Amino acid sequence: MKYVFLTGTNRGLGEAAAKAFTDSRIISITRSSVENTDNIYKAFTMDFNDTDAMEQFVPEIFNSVDPDENDEVYLLNVAGIVDPVKAVSNLSAEEMLTNYKVNVVAPTLLIQGFVNRFKEFGGEKRIVTVTSGAARSPVEGWSVYCSSKAAVNMIHSVLDKENIHQGNNIKSAVFYPGVIDTGMQEVIRASDIEEFPNLDRFKEYKETNKLAKAEDVAAALYKVVTLEDFGSKESYDVKDYI
Ligand SMILES: NC(=O)c1ccc[n+]([C@@H]2O[C@H](COP(=O)([O-])OP(=O)(O)OC[C@H]3O[C@@H](n4cnc5c(N)ncnc54)[C@H](OP(=O)(O)O)[C@@H]3O)[C@@H](O)[C@H]2O)c1
C-alpha cells in the first residue's frame, strides 16, 4: 500500500493528484475542507500561515499511519500561492512573509516531520515538492514567488545531501508542473498590469488553450513519483511525462 501525504487536496493540482493516486491511501493536509473525500484515507486541516500550529501538529499527521515494510510512504507538497504579485518597490513585509510561510516554511516543516517519522522506516519513502519555472527565470512582479520556489529547490538539494549523510534512505525531488488551468492562473490573470507587465501573455495562454489540464499534470506527477529510479535526478519536468 502507498500512503500519500498530500497538501492542497481541496482544489487545483492537489485535488487532481488525489484522484490520480487511485491505488493509494491519501492523507490530506489542507486549509479548507475537502469536498470530494472519495479516496481520502485521513484528512487534516491547518493554515500554513500558522507556523506555531504547524510545528505542534505536524508530528501527529505523520504518526497517524502505521505502515509496514512492504508499504511505501510519500510526501507530496503541492499547495502554494503566487501572491503578492507586485514590483519589489511596492512589497510589504507582511505579504512577503505570508508567501514564504506557505511556499517555503510549510513544505519544509512537513519534510521535517516526514524525515523524523520515517527515517528508520524500512519501506520505500519519497518526497516531492511542486516547484515552478519561476524558480529559475526572473519574472517581473513575481520576486517573492520566484524566490520562494528557488528556496524550496535549494532546501531539496540540501535535504538530499543530509539524507545521504544520515543514511535515511529517503529519495526526494522537485517537480516542474508547467502552466496549469487552476485557480492560481485566475489569480495571475487578475493581476494589475502595472505590477505584472506579462499579464497579456498569461491571458493569451487561457484564450488559446495553452494551459494544461490539472488531471494531465497530476497523471504526470503520478508517473514521476512512482518511477523505478525516482530520486536519481534532483528535478523532473512535466513535459517529459505528459
Ligand atoms: N497553476 C500553475 O500554472 C502553476 C505553475 C507552476 C507551478 N505551480 C505550482 O503548483 C502548485 C499547485 O498550484 P495550483 O495551480 O493547484 O494552485 P491553486 O489551484 O491556487 O491551489 C492552491 C492550493 O494551495 C492551498 N493553500 C493556499 N494557501 C494556503 C494556506 N495558507 N494553508 C494551506 N493551504 C493553502 C489552497 O488551499 P485553499 O483552497 O484553502 O486556499 C489550494 O489547495 C503550487 O505549488 C504552485 O506554485 C502552479
Residue 82 alpha carbon, nearest atom of ligand 1: 47
Copy the grid coordinates of residue 233: 535526478
Task: State whether the beta carbon of 179 lies less than 6 angstroms from ligand 1.
Answer: yes
Cα separation, 3 vs 61, whole angstroms: 12
- Prediction pTM value: 0.98
Q: Find out whether 124 and 147 touch, Cβ atoms under 8 Å.
A: no
Task: State whether the beta carbon of 13 lies less than 6 angstroms from ligand 1.
Answer: yes
Copy the grid coordinates of residue 95: 505579504
Instruction: Output the residue whose Cα is nearest ligand 1's atom 20.
Output: 184
Task: State whether the beta carbon of 11 lies less than 6 angstroms from ligand 1.
Answer: yes
User: 172: closest CA among 154, 186, 188?
Assistant: 154
What are the beta bridge partners of residue 175?
130, 236
Local confidence pLDDT in tens for the 242 residues of the chain: 999 999 999 999 999 999 999 999 999 999 999 987 888 999 999 999 999 999 999 999 999 999 999 999 999 999 999 999 999 999 999 999 999 999 999 999 999 999 999 999 999 999 999 999 999 999 999 999 999 999 999 999 999 999 999 999 999 999 999 999 999 999 999 999 999 999 999 999 999 999 999 999 999 999 999 999 999 999 999 999 99
Cα separation, 166 vs 144, whole angstroms: 32
Task: State whether the beta carbon of 141 lies less than 6 angstroms from ligand 1.
Answer: no
User: 188: closest CA among 177, 203, 209?
Assistant: 203
